[in-house]
């Protein structure tokens, strides 16, 4: 994904979409903040970032945080890399901002 593009939570048909930057080989799975480009920064235990296990771990972490079933979350772009675009069905941008708005910009 382009370094110059500013990522923001956007409305998508039937839900919302947002960018995620995955950091792997962590001791715990957690959301650690947002980047300057607006992407949500997430640490995962699984490695590498494009591995199916890491993608499954990411979806589960987001589902738990957003309190939605994993079936409502889809990696719509970047499944094989560290930068991903996530779509969440049945949720609004306001819901996402309420859940993720408290995270600080990650260093």
Q: Where are the domains of the chain?
A: 10-100
Q: How far lies 18's CA from each of 26, 27, 28, 46, in Å?
A: 22, 25, 22, 21
Is the Cβ–Cβ distance between 74 and 14 less than 8 Å?
Answer: no
- Span 71-97, pLDDT tens digits: 999 999 999 999 999 999 988 888 888
- Please tell me the pTM assigned to this model: 0.82
- Span 23-47, pLDDT tens digits: 999 999 999 988 888 889 999 998 8
Helix (H) or strand (E) holding 58: helix 52-66
According to CATH, the topology of domain 10-100 is: Conserved Hypothetical Protein Mth637; Chain: A; (3.30.1200)
């Amino acid at each position: 994904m382009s370094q110059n593009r500013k990522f923001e939570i956007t409305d998508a048909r039937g839900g919302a979409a947002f960018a995620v930057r995955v950091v792997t080989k962590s001791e715990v799975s957690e959301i650690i903040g947002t980047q300057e480009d607006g992407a949500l920064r997430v640490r995962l235990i699984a490695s590498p970032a494009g591995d199916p296990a890491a993608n499954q771990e990411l979806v589960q972490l987001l589902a738990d945080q957003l309190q939605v079933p994993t079936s409502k979350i889809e990696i719509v772009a970047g499944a094989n890399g560290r930068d991903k675009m996530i779509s969440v069905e049945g949720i609004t941008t306001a819901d996402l901002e309420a859940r993720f708005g408290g995270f600080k910009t990650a260093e």
